[in-house]
A and B are shown apart, each in its own frame.
Chain A
Amino acid sequence: MTGQILEISDLSTGYDENDILHEISLLVREKSFIGIIGPNGSGKSTFMQVLARSLPVREGDIMLLGDSLQSYSFRDFGMKVGYVPQESEIKFKYPVYDVVMMGRNPHIERFRSPSEEDHEAVRRALTQTGTLELADRPITALSGGERQRVMIARVLAQDPVLLLLDEPFAHIDIHHQYELIRIIRETSKDKRAVIGVFHDINLAAAYCDDLVLMHDGRIRACGKPEEVLTTELIHEVFRIRPVININPITGTPFVYVEEEWKEPDVHKPSIHLISGGGTGSYLISLLSRSGYSLSCGVLAENDSDCLMARKNKVPTLAEPPFSRLSLEMEEKLSEQVQKADVVIVTSMPVGWGNYPNIRVLEQIDPKKIICILPSSEPFLPDFTSGVATETIKRLLSAGAHKISNPAELLEMMQSKIFSKDTMQ
């Protein structure tokens, strides 16, 4: 089979009696860049150690270029596979140049000195990783990020067919991170393959061809980033409530993490949010995360607030874009605002199309309305020749609350005025 670099079938192994990895099967073709993601303790690093032969295979097979991993002499193995460990343990003052030259070791005969070709490979790797000016410095004097770049230079100088990287970008600053990952990605295009463990899911999603999601020592999912990074899988494996969006630059999935998620709490007042044009996105995320039972609308179907509400599974009234609110929808809205304990209005753009959203507020008790508006006029981008602004002013003078910062909202919600007991 051409183009196949690594074939792992039914691999199980561990450090002591208990297996840490269970029945792992994976096919790695040339020119592929595979990212391994998964929570701590899912077996990512152990997996890398087996591939680097630091840990023996207990069950199953690992075939490297058609031959069993065990059948390789270490010298031949070193010519085919390079490994960058999570943290380099070097505590002696080797000059950077010598450390990178160690990568050439499999290519140098025991009784020979490094050839001109070896020196050339080292210089090229130093240049690629931007560490050429560090060549004479002792490795112990470098920062964590510089050290990591040197370790990547070493693996590039080694020139292997399969590169194993165990969280290689952990300490590297963002500028070098992208530069190095691009170099490694280019390297993988040249009849090679790269397998990297990534802590940063989004970095992995942006640059890897395929992702392997590990969980409890097993491969939970494997495939293109958009196939692996689904809300269900991420929630199951990482125990977080993710919001998955599209990275606007790379077009790949982008995972946002909700730090704390509370299920809707019946003891908290229910809220209806009237917003639009992105003015409510943050509130939707904040309020649903904080355990308020929330509803939204009426929103245009393609409005970013609407997309955010859908992502957070918030019940939302929506109409096709740029259309007037139908009477039917207006009735639903009216019902909704009557029912809600609190109605929040943001500083959204108002035109004749969505003006009914504001007009409907005159039907309810103004005391349960909170307007999040700029501290002075204009309160909102008004495309109704001032009609909407007039309505807002009437509401405020009738006793609607006004705050100018969303941060004050939670405070206000927790205050006496809106606690559920006093309202009933």
Chain B
Amino acid sequence: MNTIRNSLILIGLFCAVIIAILLSVITGPVEISLIEILTGIMQDTTHSQILFEIRLPRAIAASLVGAGLACAGAAMQTLFRNDLADPYTLGTSAGGAVGVSLAIITGAVLLAPIAAFCGAIGSAFLVYLLAAQKRRLSTGNLLLTGIAVSMFFSSVVSVCLVFSGKNMHQIMFWLMGGLWNASWADIPLLLITLIPAGILALFSRDLNIMSCGEAETRTLGIDPEKTKLLLLAVSAGITGLVVSVSGSIGFIGLVSPHIMRIITGPDHRVLIPASLGCGALLLVCADTISRTWLGDLPVGIVTAFFGAPFFLMLIRRRSDL
């Protein structure tokens, strides 16, 4: 019974994402009506260009970025056994942004995704090592370390870009995240993130057991250290690839798993794909809002606007912070 319910939720989410992408494509500063699309958009070259070359790749990129951040967030919350962990709060996104900025200033723009990948993984392990004291990760320690590392990396990004002669708007892009640069060329890279997302899904049972407490993982057939390192690297890798396209966008990775945990329950076999769908849906919506009504504000500002109150609510609910 639960299986049927969960399958329906997943199918529903998938349909919702498709619909959101379609709606996103027909909304924007330039009005393109549904009838126009149906009666043959091909005739009007400007409109068809806006639709196929700008809006569609951007909407698809938004969905994949959101999906990647959300499943990375879901895994990180379990790996750190912490409600407030996600690629943004732990500085993983900022690490990815540092990688990209270094690639830009050294002129190796083609290597930007790889640099972002390495930056994100490096940052994730840095936070992990700094925050872990005597085998115990306290929530306060982890978040403060994440914030400190994130702030440090953000300043590195700003310095790099300022000295390479970029303007404020481009710097904001990496710090707050945005999708106005997204094109079809980014889509294959973003599709690659579905592979590590699949790896996370394959480790669902391990994640379930790890979410139930550290003490019994070993007698339930799991090597917690090895699994933790592997899955942390996978999540950070997803984050790095995503950041190389979109800059660091906050709160999608934090909020999506929480929403889906309420709806589907904590089982990662459902939670990972569901968070993926939820993240895609949220970011497509946020990007459409920013693009249509907010003068293409960095989408990270929109997600922060809605996400930060949610974050505060989670903090207030915790007692051990």
Contacts and interface: CB of A to CB of B under 8 A. Distances in A.
Interface of A: 15-16, 49, 52-54, 73-75, 77-79, 81-85, 88-90, 92-95, 98-99, 102-103, 105-106, 108, 110-111, 138, 158, 160, 164
Contact of A85 (B205, B213, B223): B213
B159 to A, nearest CB: 40
B134 A78 contact: no
Nearest to B227: A74
A49 B220 CA distance: 14
A89 B212 contact: yes
Of all A-B residue pairs in the complex, the 4 with the closest CB atoms, nearest first, are A78-B221, A106-B221, A92-B266, A89-B213
Contact of A74 (B213, B215, B218, B265): B218
A89 B215 contact: yes
A102 B219 contact: no
A160 B218 CA distance: 13
Looking at chain B's contact residues, the main secondary structure is loop
Q: Max chain B CB contacts within 10 Å: which of A49, A102, A103, A111? A: A102
A298 B218 CA distance: 63
B214 interface: yes
A75 B221 contact: yes
* B215, B221, B223, B266 — most chain A CB neighbours (10 Å): B221
B221 A85 contact: no
A271 B52 CA distance: 105
B216 interface: yes
Q: Which of B202, B209, B219, B261 has the most CB of A within 10 A?
A: B219
A164 B219 contact: yes
B208 interface: yes
A82 B213 contact: no
Interface string B72-87: 0000000000000000
Given A78-B220, A105-B221, A105-B222, A85 B267 contact: no
B221 A74 contact: yes
Contacts of B215: 49, 52, 54, 83, 85, 89
Interface in B180-231: 202, 205, 208-209, 211-216, 218-223
Contacts of A49: 215
B220 A99 contact: no
Contacts of B214: 54, 89
Given A92-B266, A94-B208, A94-B266, A53 B218 contact: yes
A391 B162 CA distance: 111
A95 B6 CA distance: 14
B205 A108 contact: yes
Interface residues of B, number: 23
A89 B209 CA distance: 11
Given A102-B212, A105-B209, A53 B202 contact: no
Contacts of A73: 223
B216 A83 contact: yes
Contacts of B209: 102, 105
A105 B218 contact: no
Contacts of B134: 15-16
Contacts of A108: 205
A69 to B, nearest CB: 10
Contacts of A81: 219
A286 B274 CA distance: 67
A105 B207 CA distance: 12
28 contacts: A15-B135, A52-B215, A53-B219, A54-B214, A54-B215, A74-B218, A74-B223, A77-B221, A78-B218, A78-B221, A79-B221, A82-B219, A85-B216, A88-B212, A89-B212, A89-B213, A89-B214, A92-B211, A92-B261, A94-B208, A94-B265, A95-B2, A95-B265, A102-B205, A108-B205, A111-B202, A158-B219, A158-B220
Given A83-B218, A85-B216, 20 more contacts: A15-B134, A52-B219, A53-B219, A54-B214, A74-B218, A77-B218, A77-B219, A78-B218, A83-B219, A88-B213, A90-B213, A93-B265, A94-B267, A95-B2, A95-B265, A98-B267, A99-B212, A102-B209, A105-B220, A106-B221
A323 B261 CA distance: 80
Contacts of B221: 74-75, 77-79, 105-106
A78 B219 contact: yes
Contacts of A90: 211-213
Nearest to B209: A102
A98 B208 contact: yes
A16 B213 CA distance: 22
Q: With a 10 A CB-CB cut-off, give which of A16, A98, A164 has the most chain B CB atoms.
A: A98
Interface string B252-272: 000000000100011100000
A189 B205 CA distance: 31
B214 to A, nearest CB: 7
Contacts of B223: 73-74
A81 B208 CA distance: 20
Contacts of B266: 92-94
A74 B135 CA distance: 19
A64 B221 CA distance: 15
Nearest to A52: B219
Contacts of A82: 219
Nearest to B218: A53
Contacts of A75: 221
Nearest to A73: B223
A110 B206 CA distance: 9
Given A54-B214, A54-B215, A85-B213, A106 B267 contact: no
Interface in B131-163: 134-135
A94 B220 contact: no
B210 to A, nearest CB: 10
Given A74-B223, A85-B216, A105 B205 contact: yes
Contacts of A88: 212-213
A326 to B, nearest CB: 66
A52 B205 CA distance: 20
Interface string B228-240: 0000000000000
A92 B210 CA distance: 11
B37 to A, nearest CB: 42
A138 B267 CA distance: 12
A50 B315 CA distance: 35
B219 to A, nearest CB: 4
A94 B208 CA distance: 9
